[in-house]
């Protein structure tokens, strides 16, 4: 007697975004009031739980700065050497600094003429400069308003004749925010920061303060600097330590398959030697999560869902993303470890479904690759604008970086790469700000339909219904010809 089915074929079903919808529920929550704040790792909380992918066509410092200013987090890719990585992290950390450090301050030398300093300030795009002697002592401050237009000042006069010599300074121990009151009170634009000997150590400007006030949702560390993440290999301790020293807030152990003995060992060692939070990924099963919760500060989920990813067809392995997230979250939530759903998100609806499945935050590549803030330039093909977007497992990306994300040796011959991703182009989309606005706004709508005002409440209250292929067709715009493109929907995406 044989069983009608081989036991090998008695397999569980796994679901992805299009297989499910959120069940609408009674609600007292207006979408605009839904609060998206959520943890991305044990110690970092985001205002909007959205990350830009660690890919060389998505996240470098420009993207990371914009993501953090708007409440999310950018994860800088690792197709660059360690010095370049440190420089990139530094750019994010310095972007919104209240005190411009000494080495970045434009200063005037007392021997300069008014014309010389005026030219220099114009060239460097600043409106004023502390006047310091060779010791670095602050003698005064000169600004464009001291120079023109009324002027008894002659262009050949020395700076010292035109400068304000009763200069208001703050001591380096003073909270830079107090400098604002001082500037307001004295109606001045900039205040030099000095040490005990009146030597210049930095500058606080009104412009810098106002700029920071513009970004109310910004995600900052305890020193007020923007937060950023960075991808590191599990096998490169020096890179991880350099990233930690450069004050990266989260290290993302970046592999295509983290449920691998060598990866887990490397990741664990790194997590023990750095101060930053360590997020480990990617995984997609409960068993993998069981191992990572022992030491990880966050777990990233996604085996093959990415838009440019061919892992599933090349290797035959993978896990549809809604099931993968739910499996990992079942384990991680018991240990208070945040879960990030990485890859395959095309619409805001997918992002909020990932949260309903148990994720605390979502990571996207293709959604952001077409924005101004992503690296690379805009190209025009057949009259339409595009930007390059490629998988980190594509031949091009592996050649300019590491194949170890896919746990492969660097081949000797170029033709010998076995890629797990493609090189592509994605429509040009304009600013990150408007893309993020659509994404977060759609997620808030989802929370409104479920009646949950916060992310934890939403995770608890949301339920799925299963959708047939007829239901999927019904979900999309159908039986019409779209005449005006919507900012958050393109049927061919």
Annotated binding residues for NAD(+), as ranges? 254-256, 302-304
364 near ligand XMP, judged by CB under 6 A? yes
**Token reading at 287:** 């068993």
365 contacts 343 by C-beta, under 8 angstroms: yes
Residue from the set 79, 143, 169, 307 that interacts with ligand XMP by CB under 6 A: 307
360 near ligand XMP, judged by CB under 6 A? no
366 near ligand XMP, judged by CB under 6 A? yes
In the complex, what is the shortest distance from the CB of residue 238 to ligand XMP, in angstroms, rounded to a whole number? 24
Residues 443-482 that bind ligand XMP (CB under 6 A): none
* In 84-152, beta strands by DSSP E: 99-101, 128-132, 138-143
Q: Show the CA angle centred on residue 364, arms to residues 274 and 11, nearest 5°.
A: 95
Task: Report the candidate in 233, 237, 342, 332 with the shortest Cα–Cα distance to residue 288.
Answer: 332
From the candidates 239, 405, 461, 466, give the one annotated as an active-site residue.
405
425 near ligand XMP, judged by CB under 6 A? no
Residue from the set 117, 232, 363, 425 that interacts with ligand XMP by CB under 6 A: 363
Give one DSSP letter per residue of 12-59, joined into a string: -----GGGEEEPP------GGG-B--EESSSS-EESS-EEE-S-TTT-
Task: For residue 309, indicate whether it is catalytic.
Answer: yes
In the complex, what is the shortest distance from the CB of residue 137 to ligand XMP, in angstroms, rounded to a whole number? 51
Residue from the set 50, 142, 258, 345 that interacts with ligand XMP by CB under 6 A: 345
In the complex, what is the shortest distance from the CB of residue 257 to ligand XMP, in angstroms, rounded to a whole number? 10
284 near ligand XMP, judged by CB under 6 A? no
207 contacts 189 by C-beta, under 8 angstroms: yes
Residue from the set 392, 395, 403, 447 that interacts with ligand XMP by CB under 6 A: 392
Q: Please, which residues bridge with residue 486 across strands?
A: 489
306 near ligand XMP, judged by CB under 6 A? yes
- Window 236-265: contact mask with ligand XMP (x via CB under 6 A): --------------------x---------
* In 70-124, beta strands by DSSP E: 73-76, 99-101
In the complex, what is the shortest distance from the CB of residue 22 to ligand XMP, in angstroms, rounded to a whole number? 20
CA distance 414 to 397: 12
Q: Show the CA angle centred on residue 454, arms to residues 210 and 51, nearest 5°.
A: 60
234 near ligand XMP, judged by CB under 6 A? no
* In 195-346, beta strands by DSSP E: 200-205, 229-232, 250-254, 277-283, 298-301, 339-342
200 near ligand XMP, judged by CB under 6 A? no
**Token reading at 354:** 């990932």
**Token reading at 451:** 């009646």
Where does this chain touch ligand XMP (CB under 6 A) — which range of 1-9, 210-218, 385-393, 453-461? 385-393
CA distance 302 to 324: 7
Where does this chain touch ligand XMP (CB under 6 A) — which range of 11-19, 121-129, 299-307, 438-446? 299-307
CA distance 130 to 236: 43
Residue placing its CB nearer to ligand XMP in the complex, 114 or 308: 308
Where does this chain touch ligand XMP (CB under 6 A) — which range of 28-36, 122-130, 238-246, 301-309? 301-309
Task: For residue 227, indicate whether it is catalytic.
Answer: no
Where does this chain touch ligand XMP (CB under 6 A) — which range of 213-221, 263-271, 389-397, 461-469? 389-397
φ, ψ (nearest 5 deg) of residue 113:
-90, 165
**Token reading at 188:** 């001045």
Binding residues for IMP: 307, 342-344, 365-366, 389-393, 420
Instruction: Please report which residue ranges of 385-426 form alpha helices under DSSP H.
Output: 395-399
Task: Report the candidate in 164, 160, 152, 163 with the shortest Cα–Cα distance to residue 111.
Answer: 160
Give the distance between the most distant pair of CA atoms in the chain.
Answer: 109
Residues 8-67 that bind ligand XMP (CB under 6 A): 53, 55
Where does this chain touch ligand XMP (CB under 6 A) — which range of 27-35, 238-246, 262-270, 362-370? 362-370
Total residues at interface with ligand XMP (CB under 6 A): 26
Residue from the set 309, 340, 361, 440 that interacts with ligand XMP by CB under 6 A: 309
Task: Report the candidate in 55, 95, 42 with the shortest Cα–Cα distance to residue 230.
Answer: 55
Given the rule CB under 6 A, which residues bind ligand XMP? 53, 55, 256, 282, 302, 304, 306-309, 311, 342-345, 363-367, 391-394, 420-421
Q: Catalytic positions, please?
A: 309, 405
């Amino acid at each position: 007697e044989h069983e009608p089915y081989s036991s090998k074929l008695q397999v569980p079903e796994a679901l992805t975004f299009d297989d499910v919808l959120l069940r609408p529920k009674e609600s007292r929550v207006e979408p605009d009031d839904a609060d998206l704040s959520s943890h991305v790792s044990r110690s970092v909380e985001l205002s909007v739980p959205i990350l830009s992918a660690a890919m060389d066509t998505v996240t470098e410092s420009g993207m990371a700065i914009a993501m953090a200013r708007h409440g999310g987090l950018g994860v800088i890719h690792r197709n660059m050497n360690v010095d370049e990585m440190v420089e990139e992290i530094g750019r994010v950390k310095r972007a919104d600094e209240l005190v411009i450090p000494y080495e970045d301050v434009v200063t005037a030398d007392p021997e300069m003429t008014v014309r010389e300093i005026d030219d220099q300030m114009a060239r460097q795009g600043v409106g004023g400069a502390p006047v310091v002697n060779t010791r670095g002592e602050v003698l005064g401050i000169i600004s464009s308003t001291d120079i023109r237009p009324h002027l008894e000042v002659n262009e050949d006069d020395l700076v010292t004749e035109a400068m304000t010599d009763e200069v208001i300074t703050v001591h380096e121990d003073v909270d830079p925010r107090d400098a604002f009151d001082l500037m307001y009170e004295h109606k001045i634009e900039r205040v030099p920061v000095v040490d005990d000997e009146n030597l210049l150590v930095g500058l606080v400007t009104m412009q810098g303060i106002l700029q920071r006030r513009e970004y109310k949702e910004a995600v900052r560390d305890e020193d007020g600097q923007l937060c950023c993440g960075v991808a590191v290999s599990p096998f490169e301790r020096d890179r991880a330590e350099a990233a930690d020293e450069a004050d990266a807030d989260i290290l993302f152990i970046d592999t295509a398959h983290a449920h691998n003995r060598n990866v887990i060992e490397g990741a664990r060692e790194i997590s023990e030697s750095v101060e930053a939070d360590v997020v480990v990924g990617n995984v997609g099963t409960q068993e993998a999560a069981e191992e990572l919760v022992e030491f990880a500060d966050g777990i990233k989920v996604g085996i093959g869902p990415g838009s440019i990813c061919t892992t599933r067809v090349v290797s035959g392995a993978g896990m549809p993303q809604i099931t993968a997230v739910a499996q990992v979250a079942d384990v991680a939530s018991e240990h208070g470890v945040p879960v990030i759903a990485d890859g395959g998100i095309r619409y805001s609806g997918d992002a909020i479904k990932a949260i309903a499945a148990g994720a605390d935050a979502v990571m996207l590549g293709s959604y952001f690759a077409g924005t101004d803030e992503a690296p690379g330039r805009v190209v025009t093909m057949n009259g339409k604008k595009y930007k390059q977007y490629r998988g980190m497992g594509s031949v091009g990306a592996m050649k300019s970086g590491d194949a170890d994300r896919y746990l492969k040796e660097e081949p000797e011959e170029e033709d010998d790469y076995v890629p797990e991703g493609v090189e592509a182009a994605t429509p040009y989309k304009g600013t990150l700000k408007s893309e993020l606005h659509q994404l977060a706004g759609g997620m808030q709508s989802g929370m409104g339909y479920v009646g949950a005002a916060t992310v934890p409440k939403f995770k608890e209250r949301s339920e799925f219904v299963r959708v047939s292929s007829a239901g999927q067709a019904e979900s999309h715009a159908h039986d019409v010809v779209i005449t005006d493109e919507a900012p958050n929907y393109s049927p061919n995406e």
